[in-house]
Amino acid sequence: MQWTGWSLKVGRFAGIDLFMHATFPLLFLWIGVVYWLQTGTLTGVLFGLSFIAVLFLCVVLHEYGHALTARRYGIGTRHITLLPIGGLATLERMPKDPRQEIVVALMGPAVNIAIAFVLFIILGVTGGGGSAEDIDMASPALMPTSFLQSVLFAIIFLAVFNMIPAFPMDGGRVLRAALCFRMERLRATRIAASIGQSVALVFGLAGLFGNPLLVLIAVFIWIGAAAEAGGAEIETQLHHKPVSRAMITDFKTLKRHAPLSQAVDLTLAGTLKDFPVLDDGKLVGVVTQRAILRGLRDHGLNGSIEDIMTEAITAPPDADLASLLETLQQGEDVQLICILHKGALVGLINLENISEYLRIQAALSAR
């Protein structure tokens, strides 16, 4: 059992960790209760639970469709997480080439269609092909064919739902990428985001007069669209800006053979949490706050910096802030990038400083 924040690692498939969010089992509980209330039988509850289990297996395959396609373009996937509302493949970055972005986005729903096709063939062979009206989710005829039919319709519904042209759905990415052929990425994202928020408004209004679930979906789409637009805005702000404009130049360093007590002193005296480690004036590594705390637990104040330091990530002063932000957001371990000029440490950059830089830029441009 390995927990990361609110998620539990289920396993590792095709080199990608699969996580389950802590709230995910609640969905099963809810479905179990709903089917119990509707059918009043244990068979009914089992039907509901296995239906959701099979559906989420398809959701996992859908996410692997995105992840493995991205891998073909050299983009790794940090993890895939199962949430009660669906799956989420966290790619290290989005493809910059709109053609690749379209293919990555489409390969999720394509997996649904492929599974649906297989189910369709199976149902055809077993002679279970009825019309949609035969399927009544509230009182399912508890037969294998009706089970497969329910799954088939749900998978097709999800594929269509995913193609709604609104972030964070796959259709939103396809729309943005298609717009990118004709305009700048930021403008394309803005347009795609406002279309997404219009869709959210329509869903929300429809939900108010009908299905409350639609209101929830509307909120979800609205937040997704806003996040995407905000992300693109930030990326444009940082693009072609050298890190030397934003880096921390007033910082303290640790010596390789110093005791951990010095790291404690620096942590308490300043605002930085991670520190570069020097040996004879040359950068040899970094220590993160997490490593310092672990070191203190294991070795106490007299432990050595050398034992807890890790390899430093470095960049030149003219490195693009946008790409450094990407690096900082990518790895959970990378919280500090050391800026080297001709082998000498001249600055540091971390997420806090980039957001300070962004706030200053925003204040200046608001004048």
Give the nearest distance from C-beta 60 to Zn ion in angstroms: 11
CB of 330 to Zn ion, least distance (A): 21
Q: Interface with Zn ion by CB under 5 A: which range of 3-11, 121-129, 133-141, 163-171?
A: 163-171
Nearer to Zn ion, 161 or 251 (CB): 161
How distant, in Å, are the alpha carbons of 86, 90, 165, 223, 245 from that of 178?
A: 25, 22, 11, 22, 34
Q: Which residues contact 356 (CB under 8 A, 6 or more apart)?
A: 246
CB of residue 132 to Zn ion, shortest distance in Å: 24
* Residue number, nearest CB to Zn ion: 108
Judged by beta carbon, residue 106 or residue 308, the one nearer Zn ion is 106
Residue 204 in the binding site for Zn ion (CB under 5 A): no
Q: Which stretch binds Zn ion (CB under 5 A): 100-108, 120-128, 302-310, 318-326?
A: 100-108
Contact between 108 and Zn ion by CB under 5 A: the answer reads yes
The partner residues of 338 in beta bridges, in order of sequence, read: 314, 348
Task: Please report how close the Cβ of residue 62 comes to Zn ion at its closest, in angstroms.
Answer: 6
Residue 311 φ then ψ, to 5°: -65, 140
Which positions from 291 to 330 touch Zn ion by CB under 5 A, shown as an x/- string? ----------------------------------------
Nearer to Zn ion, 170 or 274 (CB): 170
Residue number with CB closer to Zn ion (87 or 128): 87
Q: How many residues bind Zn ion (CB under 5 A)?
A: 2
Cβ closer to Zn ion: 170 or 228? 170
Adjacent-strand bridge partners of 142:
none
Separation in Å, CA 191 to CA 164, 169, 179, 326: 15, 15, 8, 23
What is the nearest approach in angstroms of Zn ion to the Cβ of residue 14?
A: 16
Q: Which member of 170, 285, 321, 338 binds Zn ion (CB under 5 A)?
A: 170
Burial 188-203 (b: 16+ CB within 10 A, else e): bbbebbebbbebbeeb
CA distance 110 to 112: 5
Q: What's the token pair of residue 312? A: 């430093």
Q: Which is nearer to Zn ion, 17 or 170 (CB)?
A: 170
| 101 part of the interface to Zn ion, by CB under 5 A | no
Only one of the segments 31-39, 105-113, 270-278, 287-295 lies at the binding site for Zn ion (rule: CB under 5 A); that segment is 105-113
The residue range among 130-138, 166-174, 184-192, 267-275 that interacts with Zn ion, by the rule CB under 5 A, is 166-174
- Cα distances from 24 to residues 124, 213, 244, in angstroms, run 34, 17, 44
Alpha carbon distances (Å) from 340 to 108, 229, 283, 343, 344: 41, 33, 9, 6, 5
For the chain, percent helix, then strand, then coil, each to nearest 5?
A: 60, 15, 25
* Least distance (Å) between residue 221 CB and Zn ion: 14
DSSP string, 20-67: EETTHHHHHHHHHHHHHHHH-SHHHHHHHHHHHHHHHHHHHHHHHHHH
Of 67 and 260, the one with the shorter C-beta distance to Zn ion is 67
Smallest distance, Å, CB 161 to Zn ion?
10
Q: HSE, CB side, 13 Å, CA atoms: give it for residue 312.
A: 25
Judged by CB under 5 A, which stretch of 11-19, 76-84, 170-178, 299-307 contacts Zn ion? 170-178
Q: Which of 284, 281, 301 is nearest to 292 (CA)?
A: 301
User: Under DSSP, is residue 118 helix (H, G, I), strand (E, B) or coil?
Assistant: helix
Question: Is residue 224 a contact residue for Zn ion (CB under 5 A)?
Answer: no
- Rounded least distance, CB 91 to Zn ion, Å: 11
Q: Could you list the residues that contact Zn ion (CB under 5 A)?
A: 108, 170
